Amino acid sequence: MGFAEDVRLLPQRTMRTVLMSLSRRRSLARIAIRSPLTRPVVARFVAGETLAEALPAVSALQRAGLHSTVDVLGESVTSAADASAAVDRYLATLAALHGRGLDANVSVKLTHMGLDIGPDLCRDNVLRIVQAVRDVDGFMRIDMEDHARTDATLEIWRAAHEAYSGVGVVIQAALRRSSKDVDSIIASGGRVRLCKGAYDEPASVAYRTRRAVDANYARLMERLLLADVQPAIATHDPRLISRAIAIAEGNGIDRDRFEFQMLYGVRRDLQRALIDRGYAVRIYVPYGREWYPYFMRRLAERPANVAFMIRAIVKEEGRRMRGH
Protein backbone atom coordinates (compact mmCIF):
# COMPACT_ATOMS: atom_id res chain seq x y z
CA MET A 1 0.00 0.00 0.00
CA GLY A 2 1.38 3.43 -0.99
CA PHE A 3 1.59 6.65 0.98
CA ALA A 4 -1.44 8.12 -0.75
CA GLU A 5 -3.57 5.12 0.19
CA ASP A 6 -2.29 5.26 3.77
CA VAL A 7 -3.41 8.89 4.02
CA ARG A 8 -6.80 8.11 2.51
CA LEU A 9 -7.45 5.60 5.30
CA LEU A 10 -6.66 8.03 8.12
CA PRO A 11 -9.56 8.99 10.42
CA GLN A 12 -11.38 12.05 9.11
CA ARG A 13 -10.28 14.33 11.97
CA THR A 14 -6.65 13.24 11.57
CA MET A 15 -6.80 13.74 7.81
CA ARG A 16 -8.24 17.22 8.26
CA THR A 17 -5.41 18.14 10.65
CA VAL A 18 -2.79 16.75 8.27
CA LEU A 19 -4.22 18.62 5.29
CA MET A 20 -4.48 21.89 7.18
CA SER A 21 -0.84 21.49 8.20
CA LEU A 22 0.16 20.79 4.59
CA SER A 23 -1.72 23.92 3.46
CA ARG A 24 0.93 25.99 5.24
CA ARG A 25 3.92 24.23 3.65
CA ARG A 26 5.36 26.64 1.12
CA SER A 27 7.72 24.01 -0.29
CA LEU A 28 4.78 21.76 -1.16
CA ALA A 29 2.94 24.75 -2.59
CA ARG A 30 5.78 25.38 -5.04
CA ILE A 31 5.78 21.74 -6.14
CA ALA A 32 2.02 21.58 -6.52
CA ILE A 33 1.80 24.83 -8.47
CA ARG A 34 4.48 23.66 -10.95
CA SER A 35 3.06 20.21 -11.47
CA PRO A 36 0.78 19.63 -14.49
CA LEU A 37 -0.46 16.48 -12.76
CA THR A 38 -2.43 18.46 -10.19
CA ARG A 39 -4.24 20.66 -12.70
CA PRO A 40 -7.26 18.41 -13.40
CA VAL A 41 -8.15 18.23 -9.71
CA VAL A 42 -7.39 21.89 -8.99
CA ALA A 43 -9.48 23.03 -11.96
CA ARG A 44 -12.54 21.61 -10.26
CA PHE A 45 -12.26 24.18 -7.46
CA VAL A 46 -10.33 27.09 -9.03
CA ALA A 47 -11.56 29.03 -12.06
CA GLY A 48 -8.08 29.74 -13.40
CA GLU A 49 -4.76 31.35 -12.59
CA THR A 50 -5.50 34.62 -14.36
CA LEU A 51 -8.40 37.04 -14.61
CA ALA A 52 -8.68 36.25 -18.32
CA GLU A 53 -9.21 32.59 -17.43
CA ALA A 54 -11.70 33.32 -14.65
CA LEU A 55 -14.03 35.67 -16.52
CA PRO A 56 -15.49 32.99 -18.83
CA ALA A 57 -16.30 30.89 -15.77
CA VAL A 58 -18.17 33.80 -14.17
CA SER A 59 -20.00 34.46 -17.44
CA ALA A 60 -21.03 30.81 -17.67
CA LEU A 61 -22.45 30.92 -14.16
CA GLN A 62 -24.47 34.01 -15.01
CA ARG A 63 -25.89 32.36 -18.12
CA ALA A 64 -26.93 29.43 -15.93
CA GLY A 65 -28.84 31.75 -13.60
CA LEU A 66 -26.25 31.75 -10.83
CA HIS A 67 -24.75 34.76 -9.09
CA SER A 68 -21.06 34.96 -8.23
CA THR A 69 -18.53 36.43 -5.86
CA VAL A 70 -14.91 36.47 -7.01
CA ASP A 71 -11.93 35.78 -4.76
CA VAL A 72 -8.48 36.81 -5.98
CA LEU A 73 -6.50 34.07 -4.29
CA GLY A 74 -3.75 34.93 -1.87
CA GLU A 75 -3.18 35.29 1.87
CA SER A 76 -0.57 35.93 4.54
CA VAL A 77 1.46 38.42 2.50
CA THR A 78 4.66 39.60 4.17
CA SER A 79 5.34 42.92 2.43
CA ALA A 80 3.40 46.13 1.87
CA ALA A 81 4.26 45.92 -1.83
CA ASP A 82 2.63 42.50 -2.14
CA ALA A 83 -0.47 43.74 -0.33
CA SER A 84 -0.69 46.76 -2.62
CA ALA A 85 -0.32 44.50 -5.67
CA ALA A 86 -3.21 42.39 -4.35
CA VAL A 87 -5.37 45.52 -4.10
CA ASP A 88 -4.52 46.37 -7.71
CA ARG A 89 -5.63 42.90 -8.81
CA TYR A 90 -8.96 43.43 -7.08
CA LEU A 91 -9.41 46.80 -8.74
CA ALA A 92 -8.73 45.25 -12.14
CA THR A 93 -11.14 42.42 -11.35
CA LEU A 94 -13.94 44.80 -10.37
CA ALA A 95 -13.41 46.88 -13.50
CA ALA A 96 -13.54 43.77 -15.68
CA LEU A 97 -16.64 42.39 -14.01
CA HIS A 98 -18.48 45.69 -14.21
CA GLY A 99 -17.39 46.28 -17.79
CA ARG A 100 -18.83 42.93 -18.87
CA GLY A 101 -22.10 43.32 -17.03
CA LEU A 102 -21.23 40.61 -14.49
CA ASP A 103 -21.76 40.68 -10.73
CA ALA A 104 -19.39 43.28 -9.27
CA ASN A 105 -19.12 41.19 -6.14
CA VAL A 106 -15.80 40.22 -4.55
CA SER A 107 -14.57 38.39 -1.46
CA VAL A 108 -11.37 39.50 0.30
CA LYS A 109 -9.06 37.93 2.89
CA LEU A 110 -7.47 40.43 5.22
CA THR A 111 -4.11 38.67 5.44
CA HIS A 112 -3.97 39.23 1.67
CA MET A 113 -4.44 42.92 2.39
CA GLY A 114 -1.55 43.01 4.87
CA LEU A 115 -3.25 42.30 8.21
CA ASP A 116 -0.19 40.46 9.51
CA ILE A 117 1.98 43.42 8.60
CA GLY A 118 -0.22 45.93 10.39
CA PRO A 119 -3.94 46.68 10.88
CA ASP A 120 -3.63 50.27 9.66
CA LEU A 121 -2.05 49.19 6.39
CA CYS A 122 -4.71 46.51 5.98
CA ARG A 123 -7.58 48.91 6.67
CA ASP A 124 -6.25 51.43 4.16
CA ASN A 125 -5.95 48.73 1.50
CA VAL A 126 -9.45 47.46 2.20
CA LEU A 127 -10.87 50.96 1.92
CA ARG A 128 -9.25 51.34 -1.51
CA ILE A 129 -11.24 48.33 -2.67
CA VAL A 130 -14.38 49.54 -0.90
CA GLN A 131 -14.23 52.79 -2.87
CA ALA A 132 -13.97 50.86 -6.14
CA VAL A 133 -16.88 48.61 -5.11
CA ARG A 134 -18.95 51.65 -4.23
CA ASP A 135 -18.16 53.31 -7.56
CA VAL A 136 -19.74 50.39 -9.45
CA ASP A 137 -22.59 49.88 -6.94
CA GLY A 138 -21.16 46.46 -6.12
CA PHE A 139 -20.70 44.36 -3.02
CA MET A 140 -17.69 43.20 -1.05
CA ARG A 141 -17.45 40.42 1.53
CA ILE A 142 -14.62 40.20 4.05
CA ASP A 143 -13.70 36.57 4.58
CA MET A 144 -13.01 35.23 8.05
CA GLU A 145 -9.71 33.46 8.69
CA ASP A 146 -8.50 31.62 11.79
CA HIS A 147 -9.83 32.51 15.24
CA ALA A 148 -6.77 34.56 16.24
CA ARG A 149 -7.74 37.14 13.60
CA THR A 150 -11.46 37.35 14.33
CA ASP A 151 -11.38 40.53 16.42
CA ALA A 152 -9.14 42.36 13.93
CA THR A 153 -11.32 41.20 11.04
CA LEU A 154 -14.51 42.47 12.65
CA GLU A 155 -12.88 45.78 13.54
CA ILE A 156 -11.81 46.38 9.94
CA TRP A 157 -15.20 45.21 8.68
CA ARG A 158 -16.89 47.84 10.86
CA ALA A 159 -14.69 50.57 9.38
CA ALA A 160 -15.43 49.37 5.85
CA HIS A 161 -19.16 49.05 6.57
CA GLU A 162 -19.26 52.62 7.87
CA ALA A 163 -17.67 53.78 4.61
CA TYR A 164 -20.12 51.79 2.45
CA SER A 165 -23.07 49.67 3.51
CA GLY A 166 -22.40 47.16 0.73
CA VAL A 167 -19.68 45.42 2.73
CA GLY A 168 -20.47 42.16 4.48
CA VAL A 169 -18.49 39.74 6.61
CA VAL A 170 -18.22 36.01 7.19
CA ILE A 171 -19.04 34.25 10.45
CA GLN A 172 -17.97 30.67 11.19
CA ALA A 173 -20.43 28.45 13.03
CA ALA A 174 -17.54 26.35 14.35
CA LEU A 175 -16.42 29.16 16.67
CA ARG A 176 -17.99 29.31 20.11
CA ARG A 177 -17.99 33.13 20.06
CA SER A 178 -20.06 33.40 16.88
CA SER A 179 -23.42 33.76 18.62
CA LYS A 180 -22.36 37.06 20.20
CA ASP A 181 -20.70 38.20 16.99
CA VAL A 182 -23.88 37.55 15.00
CA ASP A 183 -25.94 39.58 17.48
CA SER A 184 -23.48 42.48 17.21
CA ILE A 185 -23.46 42.41 13.40
CA ILE A 186 -27.26 42.26 13.23
CA ALA A 187 -27.43 45.29 15.52
CA SER A 188 -25.08 47.12 13.11
CA GLY A 189 -27.22 46.26 10.11
CA GLY A 190 -24.44 44.14 8.63
CA ARG A 191 -24.79 41.28 6.19
CA VAL A 192 -23.39 37.90 7.19
CA ARG A 193 -22.26 34.97 5.13
CA LEU A 194 -22.65 32.05 7.51
CA CYS A 195 -20.29 29.14 6.94
CA LYS A 196 -19.24 26.17 9.04
CA GLY A 197 -15.53 27.08 9.12
CA ALA A 198 -12.56 25.70 7.22
CA TYR A 199 -9.84 26.04 9.87
CA ASP A 200 -8.62 23.43 12.32
CA GLU A 201 -9.28 25.34 15.54
CA PRO A 202 -8.59 24.27 19.16
CA ALA A 203 -11.43 22.98 21.33
CA SER A 204 -11.06 25.97 23.65
CA VAL A 205 -12.52 28.26 20.98
CA ALA A 206 -14.34 25.94 18.59
CA TYR A 207 -16.79 23.08 18.44
CA ARG A 208 -14.90 19.98 17.35
CA THR A 209 -17.66 17.59 16.26
CA ARG A 210 -19.78 17.79 13.16
CA ARG A 211 -22.95 17.48 15.21
CA ALA A 212 -22.05 20.44 17.43
CA VAL A 213 -21.03 22.62 14.48
CA ASP A 214 -24.21 21.76 12.59
CA ALA A 215 -26.36 22.53 15.62
CA ASN A 216 -24.74 25.93 16.07
CA TYR A 217 -25.03 26.61 12.35
CA ALA A 218 -28.77 25.92 12.50
CA ARG A 219 -29.22 28.25 15.48
CA LEU A 220 -27.28 31.10 13.88
CA MET A 221 -28.98 30.59 10.52
CA GLU A 222 -32.44 30.89 12.07
CA ARG A 223 -31.43 34.04 13.93
CA LEU A 224 -30.11 35.64 10.75
CA LEU A 225 -33.12 34.70 8.67
CA LEU A 226 -35.57 36.06 11.23
CA ALA A 227 -33.53 39.27 11.60
CA ASP A 228 -34.12 40.09 7.92
CA VAL A 229 -30.54 41.19 7.20
CA GLN A 230 -30.04 39.55 3.79
CA PRO A 231 -27.99 36.61 5.08
CA ALA A 232 -25.99 34.32 2.82
CA ILE A 233 -26.46 30.68 3.81
CA ALA A 234 -23.14 29.15 2.76
CA THR A 235 -23.40 25.38 2.93
CA HIS A 236 -23.55 22.27 0.76
CA ASP A 237 -25.38 20.33 3.46
CA PRO A 238 -28.85 19.33 2.17
CA ARG A 239 -30.19 19.03 5.71
CA LEU A 240 -29.25 22.60 6.60
CA ILE A 241 -30.55 23.86 3.27
CA SER A 242 -33.88 22.15 3.89
CA ARG A 243 -33.92 23.65 7.37
CA ALA A 244 -33.35 27.15 5.96
CA ILE A 245 -36.17 26.70 3.47
CA ALA A 246 -38.49 25.48 6.21
CA ILE A 247 -37.67 28.50 8.41
CA ALA A 248 -38.26 30.88 5.51
CA GLU A 249 -41.54 29.29 4.47
CA GLY A 250 -42.77 28.98 8.04
CA ASN A 251 -42.14 32.66 8.73
CA GLY A 252 -43.19 34.19 5.43
CA ILE A 253 -39.65 35.17 4.47
CA ASP A 254 -39.54 35.95 0.76
CA ARG A 255 -36.89 34.26 -1.39
CA ASP A 256 -35.30 37.61 -2.27
CA ARG A 257 -34.44 38.25 1.41
CA PHE A 258 -31.65 35.68 1.57
CA GLU A 259 -29.45 33.60 -0.69
CA PHE A 260 -27.58 30.34 -0.67
CA GLN A 261 -23.87 30.32 -1.40
CA MET A 262 -21.71 27.44 -2.57
CA LEU A 263 -18.15 26.90 -3.70
CA TYR A 264 -17.14 26.78 -7.33
CA GLY A 265 -17.19 23.18 -8.52
CA VAL A 266 -18.99 21.74 -5.50
CA ARG A 267 -22.49 20.21 -5.63
CA ARG A 268 -23.51 21.52 -9.01
CA ASP A 269 -26.57 19.28 -8.78
CA LEU A 270 -27.70 21.04 -5.62
CA GLN A 271 -27.02 24.45 -7.14
CA ARG A 272 -29.25 23.58 -10.08
CA ALA A 273 -32.01 22.18 -7.92
CA LEU A 274 -32.20 25.37 -5.84
CA ILE A 275 -32.19 27.58 -8.93
CA ASP A 276 -35.03 25.52 -10.41
CA ARG A 277 -37.03 26.12 -7.23
CA GLY A 278 -36.56 29.86 -7.50
CA TYR A 279 -33.90 30.43 -4.85
CA ALA A 280 -30.94 32.75 -5.34
CA VAL A 281 -27.60 30.92 -5.40
CA ARG A 282 -24.23 32.65 -5.42
CA ILE A 283 -21.02 30.80 -6.29
CA TYR A 284 -17.69 31.61 -4.65
CA VAL A 285 -15.30 31.79 -7.61
CA PRO A 286 -11.57 31.81 -6.76
CA TYR A 287 -8.80 32.48 -9.23
CA GLY A 288 -5.07 33.17 -9.09
CA ARG A 289 -1.71 31.46 -8.93
CA GLU A 290 -1.76 31.36 -5.13
CA TRP A 291 -4.35 28.61 -5.12
CA TYR A 292 -2.54 26.03 -2.99
CA PRO A 293 -3.72 26.98 0.57
CA TYR A 294 -7.30 27.43 -0.64
CA PHE A 295 -7.23 24.11 -2.46
CA MET A 296 -5.83 22.23 0.53
CA ARG A 297 -8.62 23.58 2.73
CA ARG A 298 -11.14 22.32 0.20
CA LEU A 299 -9.51 18.89 0.37
CA ALA A 300 -9.70 19.01 4.16
CA GLU A 301 -13.44 19.58 3.84
CA ARG A 302 -13.96 17.02 1.05
CA PRO A 303 -11.08 14.53 1.03
CA ALA A 304 -12.29 12.38 -1.88
CA ASN A 305 -9.44 13.54 -4.12
CA VAL A 306 -6.69 13.45 -1.50
CA ALA A 307 -5.05 10.27 -2.77
CA PHE A 308 -4.80 11.63 -6.31
CA MET A 309 -3.38 14.94 -5.15
CA ILE A 310 -0.73 13.37 -2.93
CA ARG A 311 0.34 10.93 -5.66
CA ALA A 312 0.82 13.87 -8.01
CA ILE A 313 2.88 15.89 -5.52
CA VAL A 314 5.02 12.94 -4.45
CA LYS A 315 5.68 11.96 -8.05
CA GLU A 316 6.68 15.51 -8.96
CA GLU A 317 8.95 15.75 -5.93
CA GLY A 318 10.62 12.48 -6.93
CA ARG A 319 11.36 13.86 -10.36
CA ARG A 320 12.79 17.04 -8.85
CA MET A 321 15.07 15.08 -6.50
CA ARG A 322 16.36 13.02 -9.43
CA GLY A 323 17.17 16.22 -11.28
CA HIS A 324 14.65 15.72 -14.08
Residue 252: give its domain's CATH number: 3.20.20.220
pLDDT at site 43: 78
Check whether residue 99 and residue 118 sit in a common domain. Answer: yes
Residue 84 has pLDDT above 50, yes or no: yes
pLDDT at position 7, please? Answer: 41
**Residues tagged active-site:** 143, 193
Let me know whether 24 and 124 are in one domain: no
pLDDT score of 200: 82
The total domain count for the chain is: 2
Beta bridge partners of 286: 71
Which band of pLDDT confidence, cut at 50, 70 and 90, is reported for residue 308?
A: very low
Question: 3-class SS at 78?
Answer: coil
Q: pLDDT band for position 281 (50/70/90)?
A: very high
Q: Nearest-CA neighbor of 312 among 16, 17, 62, 40?
A: 40
Q: Same domain, yes or no, for 110 and 40?
A: no
pTM of this structure: 0.84
| Whether 285 and 308 share a structural domain | no
User: Which residue range forms the structural domain that includes residue 164?
Assistant: 47-290
Q: Is the Cβ–Cβ distance between 67 and 283 less than 8 Å?
A: yes
Same structural domain for residues 169 and 33? Answer: no
Residues 113 and 22 in one domain: no
Q: Does residue 312 sit in the same domain as residue 273?
A: no
Same domain? 121 vs 21? no
Whether residues 59 and 171 share a domain: the answer is yes
Same domain, 141 and 54: yes
114-153: string of b/e by CB count within 10 Å (b at 16+)?
bbbbebebbbbbbbbbbebbbeeebbbbbbbbbbebbebb
Residue 251 has pLDDT above 90, yes or no: yes
Answer yes or no: do 110 and 246 share one domain.
Answer: yes
More confident position, 126 or 290: 126
The helix/strand/coil state of 209 is: coil
The maximal CA–CA distance of the chain, rounded, in angstroms, is: 65
pLDDT digits (tens, 9 = 90+) for 188-241: 999 999 999 978 899 999 999 999 999 999 999 999 999 999 999 999 999 999
pLDDT at residue 315 above 60? no
Average pLDDT, the chain: 87
Residue 21 has a pLDDT of 57
